[in-house]
Amino acid sequence: NREHDLLDSDDYYQFEGGAAAAVGHLQGTRRPVYHNDHSRPEHPVIRTLDEEIARVVRSRVVNPKWIAGVKRHGYKGAFEIAATVDYLFAFAATTGAVRGHHFDAVEAAFLADDDTRAFIAEHNPAALRELAERLQEAIDRGLWIPRSNSARARIDAAAGTPVSAA
């Protein structure tokens, strides 16, 4: 349904990503992965996982309306942002279906945007640190090469976010 997508739960990458990783390991090459969209049962749509991830990143993850909406939820909203980045990373690691420009868009929406970065830092500093650590891990694993040095600087700064024992 349209209330959920493959980047709002770890179930999707665990099953789809796990199956893709297993097939790739056993066959020695990555195979196409397909995602079935049954949000309209009378008109199901089958997309490649690459297409579905691109659709979700554009339509929800970096959508200013979604970001504004999640900010209304304070601590939990900041957690949801970080969790979404975690799930995106997991798909990148298990399927190769996440492209560099997806990570660029995520970094721009959550770290380069001063208001959003400040929101996450204020409401859930651990989420900001974990988001940055996940982006750094994507770089370290060769899943993403940021287009700008300033992105790396923002990641480094956010990864060092102190977490109070409040």
What pLDDT was estimated at residue 1? 56
Q: Among 11-15, 38-42, 51-55, 118-122, where is mean pLDDT lowest?
A: 11-15
Q: Is residue 1 part of a domain?
A: no
For 117, the domain range is 10-159
Residue 165 — very low, low, confident or very high, per pLDDT cuts 50/70/90? Answer: low
Q: Is residue 165 part of a domain?
A: no
Q: Is residue 5 part of a domain?
A: no
How many angstroms from the chain centroid is the CA of residue 107? Answer: 10
Q: Among 8-12, 33-37, 124-128, 153-157, where is mean pLDDT lowest?
A: 8-12
Structurally, the chain folds into a number of domains equal to 1
Give Dmax (Cα) for the chain: 51
- With both helix axes pointing from N to C terminus, report the angle between 149-159 and 114-123 in degrees, rounded to the nearest 10: 10
| Better-predicted residue by pLDDT, 160 or 126 | 126
Mean pLDDT rounded to a whole number for the chain? 93
